[in-house]
Each structure stands twice: as C-alpha cells, then as structure tokens.
DNA sequence: AGTTGTTGTGATTAATCGGGTTACAGCGCT
DNA sequence: AGCGCTGTAACCCGATTAATCACAACAACT
C-alpha cells in the first residue's frame, strides 16, 4: 500500500472516499473543506492541490451528494458538513445499498446448495474463512473437532460452538491457550480440549475443522514477511466434503489418529 | 434510470454490486454463480454473457473478496457463497470502511464550525436537508417554528423535536395533516400546531424552519414531471443565519406576521 | 470610467482503466 | 495425429477522468 496506515488521516480519508465512489478531485476537495470548515475555490485549491479551475466540478459532485453546502456569491463559498454528519450520511447510504442487494440476491437464489462430493475448494480472506467455518458448524449434528489459534476464536465463533453443543453435538477443541481454554469450558458444556498439535505440520498457525467426519477445512495465515499488525491478516483455506473426498479421507485419518493419541494422554 | 426498479432482481443486484466496487464482469459473474450455485467458466459465461476467457479474471476478483470458492481442477469449478452470506460480507466490509472514514475525518476536523452571518447557503438532496434540519433543531434554545408536509416528518425528526421541547424550547408546528397532528400532540408536550400556510408561496410542498428567530431554512421538492414514487424525491433547500442575514430578515418578517395571524384565529 | 487582478466556465489534451476480442499453448479424448 | 476444450495472455478500443489552457464575466480600486 502506498498510503500511510493511520499516520495521516487526510490520506486515509481520501482513500476511503475514493473507494466509496467519489472522484479523486472530489475526495481531496472534501477533505480540504473539512479541514477548513469553509472556504473559497482558491483556498481549497491551495490546501488540496486540486487545480483551482477543477474545484468547481468537484464541488458540484459533493453538493449533489449532500456533503457540502454552497453559497452563490462571488467568490463562491463552500461549507462542509461536519465529520460526524458526513459519516452518518455514508452509513445510511451504504445500509440502503446493502439492503437492496440482499433482497435482490435472495430473489435470485434458486436451488439448494448441493454439496460437491469430489474436489477441494479454496477460500481466501479471513472473513470468508470465518463465514465458511460458521456455515459448517451450523450443519454439524454429531461431532465437531476444531483447532485454532487464540485470536481467531472470536465471540461469534464461540457462540456458534455453544449453539452446536446445545443441540447435542460433541465438541473437541484444541490449540488454544490456557486462559482461553478456561473461558471456553466455563461457557460451553460438553467440550473436550486438547493441546495444540500444530507440530504435525510446518504451518505456523491457522485452523483445522472437522465436521461429523465428513467435512474438513484447513487454513493457514499467510502474512509472511510483511506482516503489519494493523493489516487484516490474510488467511487461505481449503475444504472438502464427503466420505469419498480425498482431502477428507487423508486428513481424517491423520487427524483422528493424532487426536486419540493426544487425548488418551 | 435504464434498469428496471424491482422487476428484475438480477439487474438490480448487478447494478448494486458495481456500485459497491466490483467490475462489471465480476458483478455479472457473481450473479450468475448465485443463480447456478456452482458452475464452470463455460456455464457462467453462458448465463452471464461475460466472454468465457474473461470469466477467469472476474473469478479471481471475486475469490479475493471472499465471495466465491474455487476448485483447482480442470475444468475449474466455482462455488458461490449464499445470498445471505454475501450480504453479511458486504455489510461487514462497508461498516469497517465507514468506521475508518469516521475516525479519519474526525481527526482532521479542526476548529469549530463558526457560522457565517452573511450569505445564503444551498443544500441539495433530501437526506442532506434532513441532516441540516436535525443539526439546527439540536442547537435551538428558545423557539422552533417548523412547517412541513407529512411524509417528510419522519420518526427521527419527531424525536429531535421532542428532545428540543424537553429542554424547554417552545415548538410551533404547521402544515401537517389532522392525523399526524394528533400523533404529535400525543407524543410531544408544549407544541402549538397551526394550519398550513403554503398559500403564501407558490411552492407546492417542502419545509420551512425557523430557529430562535436567527436561523432559517426553506426547502422545496423539485420532482417535477418525472415523479416516480420509488425514486428518492429530490429536495433543494436554502438556509441563512444571523440577525443581519438578509434571508433571515425577510422571511422572519413574513413568517412571524403570518404565524401570529393564523394562530390568533 | 478605465484598469487590473480574480473568478468561474468551457474546451482541449493526455493518461488510465475496463470492456471486448483474438491468438495460442497445454491437455485429454477419440 | 487430430480435435475440441480449457486456461493464459496479449491486444485494441472506447469511456472516463485527471490535468492544462483559453477566455469572458466580474469585482475592486484608482
């Protein structure tokens, strides 16, 4: 990424505004105006480094989106809404958009997602992997084996695990630290915890999930050398389903074997 | 607008996905995959009318955003997440974005918004006008006079009016229908309502707001001939502040005069 | 009133991006 | 070997937008 993460709020804001659909000029102009509170085209141009003659277009764009008010004098004056109001504005608009999207998509959705029995699927991105894990947990009806590192065990996931045990699914949880383990055994009954077994692979960290011995997901965190703490860590996962699935067959064998060994201790 | 409003969910979804930052190909591909549940590049290409050779690019884009899983076989197979999961995905991402924007903007925000005493500001768009009205209501400490048409009197606005009266501001409300008036007098104490006085202007509908006799906002709805009920109706407003402000001076004179006359009846 | 610097609009150019097409190498199948 | 299909990559072209320039309208000041 070329821009500073949190150091420079102006660049960060401009970046976001562009992502949200504003032109580069409009974004820079708006940020300048938020800083100034109010100003003329010349003033805006000086602090934003937008060519003065283009400030007028940018301002039109912003005015139509309700982000600034304009004064029809000469020179024209521009007045930006407050940071808080602007954020509310975007939030409202985006909420509306996702609502439309949700209804449109659900109207499309046709047949049930029959699950492919052959092949291995790959997933990219931590949020996507978590979603898949949540889906799978929800469809378990016998046994869940879940191994994960601490910071991927969010409250949302703990809730899903709890739900599963409450409908009679047995849970084996591994890899977490002592403190987290205590917290879990406190909140969730019917859980067996076991020590980490990341040693069986050279994967530094990630998750491993097995559902009813018929569905398996494995993930690895891939932020190698350029690991910046603020970045959303990048996670890649693969999963497969079905007794005959090759991934399931292989991993299930290794997994249950090691698992029995460790729990027996 | 060239696309159907609600008739065709596919077009609607594609439109939204593009607005949300997906390329046209990626949007069409995703919608096709949601319909198919799962499919190959060829199948996707047939229903989405995306050139087959470009499906692969689109699919990369979608995979990186966590919207689909891919199977590394030949032919490759693509598996879309459910409509519900996809919506949650976007919601989460956008929430995150607006959060970043909010903090960035508030760090920029410098001096307090000193209010210009001269000149008239213009606002465009119903949401923007409502925001301005809410801002102004919040800073009233003596008297609010508010005239509006029914459907612009949202719960949010009623709440703000109620807040104001509860801190001792007197409220004069006009223009609303009988039923709404009853609802208001029910919810909010210390409110004087009066009949519409839109006759003083040729404006068909809109709002008129006066705060402490020192700040005035006037709006008009401008959806002329092409008024479609689903469109967010377009509203334009002007406002000015300060005893010496020309807009305030003129309107205040007319307004209080007519107001006394009507309420006296 | 004339002069001067500033303001706002419009036209024009340059560069970037994304949609659309084509070429082609690898592969399995007959 | 021949064929069809899959996946990668290169290319072209049109649209959008950043960036520059020319100019008329205007305000201010002498």
Q: Measured between alpha carbons, how far is A207 from A129 in angstroms, rounded to an integer?
A: 10
**Looking at the DSSP assignment, which residues form a beta bridge with residue A238?**
A122, A218
Question: Is A224 a residue whose pLDDT tops 70?
Answer: no
Name the closest nucleotide to B61, judged by C1' and CA. Answer: C18
- What residues of chain B, 2 to 21, have a C-beta less than 8 Å from chain A? 9-10, 12-13, 16-17, 19-21
Residue A3 pLDDT:
43
B173-183: pLDDT as tens digits: 887 777 788 88
Banded model confidence at residue A112, pLDDT cuts 50, 70, 90: low
Question: A8 CA to chain B: closest CA distance, Å?
Answer: 8
Q: Which residues contact A151 (CB under 8 A, 6 or more apart)?
A: none
Summary mean pLDDT of chain A: 83
Interatomic CA–C1' length for residue A56 and nucleotide D29, angstroms: 27
Q: Is residue B63 over pLDDT 80?
A: yes
Mean pLDDT of A93-111: 89
CA A260 – C1' D26 distance (Å)?
87
Q: Which residues contact A172 (CB under 8 A, 6 or more apart)?
A: A143, A144, A145, A146, A191, A192, A193, A194, A259, A263
Min mean pLDDT across A234-248, A250-264, B106-120, B200-214 is at: A250-264
Best of B101, B138, B235, B246 to disrupt the A interface (most A CBs within 10 Å) is B101
A104 pLDDT above the threshold of 70: yes
- Cα gap B75→B54, rounded to integer Å: 15
Which secondary-structure segment (H or E) carries B242?
none
Q: Do A125 and B65 touch (CB under 8 A)?
A: yes
Which among B97, B108, B132 has CB closest to A9?
Answer: B108
- Residue range A117-142: mean pLDDT, rounded: 89
Distance in Å, alpha carbon of B145 to nearest chain A alpha carbon: 22
H or E element: which one contains B112?
A: none
| Strand C and B19 CB separated by under 7 Å | no
Of the partner residues B95, B120, B124, the one whose CB lies closest to the CB of residue A71: B120
Provide the shortest C-alpha distance from residue B191 to chain A (in Å). 27
Q: Which helix (H) or strand (E) holds B99?
A: helix B83-108
The DSSP secondary-structure symbol of B239 reads E
Contacts of A59 in chain B (CB under 8 A): none
**CA A30 – C1' D19 distance (Å)?**
19
Asked if B104 lies within 8 A of A38 by C-beta distance, the reply is: no
If residue B30 lies in a helix (H) or strand (E), which one and from where to where? helix B24-36
Nearest nt (C1') from A41 Cα:
C7
CA–CA gap between residue B144 and residue B134 (Å, rounded): 12
CA A62 / C1′ D19 distance in Å: 20
Contact assessment for residue B232 and residue B171, using Cβ atoms and an 8 Å cutoff: no
Task: Please check whether residue A101 touches B, CB under 8 A.
Answer: yes
> Which position has the higher pLDDT, B199 or B158?
B158
CA B251 to chain centre: 27
Tokens linked to B106: 């508030």
What is the average pLDDT value for chain B, to the nearest integer? 83
Q: Enumerate domains of chain B plus CATH numbers.
A: 9-83 (1.10.10.10), 121-264 (3.30.870.10)
pLDDT band (50, 70, 90) for residue B253: confident
Radius of gyration of chain B (CA): 26
Residue contact B106–A90, C-beta within 8 A? no
Of A91, A103, A113, the CB nearest to B98: A91
Looking at residue B178, its pLDDT comes to 78
Name residue, tokens 């060994």.
Answer: A261
A90 touches strand C (CB under 7 A): no
**In the predicted model, what is the mean pLDDT of residues B183-199?**
72
């Amino acid at each position: 990424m070329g821009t500073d993460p949190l150091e420079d709020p102006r660049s960060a804001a401009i970046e976001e505004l562009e992502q949200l659909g504003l032109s580069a000029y409009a974004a820079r102009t708006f940020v300048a105006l938020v800083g100034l509170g109010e100003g003329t085209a010349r003033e805006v141009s000086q602090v934003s480094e937008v060519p003065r003659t283009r400030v007028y277009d940018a301002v039109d764009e912003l005015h139509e989106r309700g982000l600034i008010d304009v004064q029809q004098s000469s020179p024209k004056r521009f007045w930006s809404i407050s940071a808080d109001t602007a954020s509310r504005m975007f939030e409202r608009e985006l909420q509306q958009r996702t609502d439309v999207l949700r209804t449109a998509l659900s109207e499309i959705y046709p047949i049930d997602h029959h699950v492919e029995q052959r092949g291995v699927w790959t997933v990219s991105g931590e949020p996507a992997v978590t979603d898949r894990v949540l889906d799978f947990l929800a469809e378990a009806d016998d046994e869940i084996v879940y191994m994960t590192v601490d910071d991927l065990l969010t409250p949302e996931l703990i809730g899903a695990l709890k739900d599963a045990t409450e409908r009679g699914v047995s849970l084996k949880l591994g890899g977490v630290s002592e403190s987290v383990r205590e917290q879990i055994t406190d909140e969730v009954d019917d859980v067996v915890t076991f020590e980490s077994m990341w040693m069986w692979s050279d994967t530094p960290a990630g998750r491993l999930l097995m559902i009813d011995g018929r569905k398996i997901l494995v993930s690895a965190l891939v932020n190698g050398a350029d690991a910046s703490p603020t970045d959303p860590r990048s996670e890649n996962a693969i999963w497969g389903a079905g007794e005959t699935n090759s991934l399931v067959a292989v991993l299930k064998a290794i997994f249950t074997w090691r698992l029995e060994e460790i729990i027996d201790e």
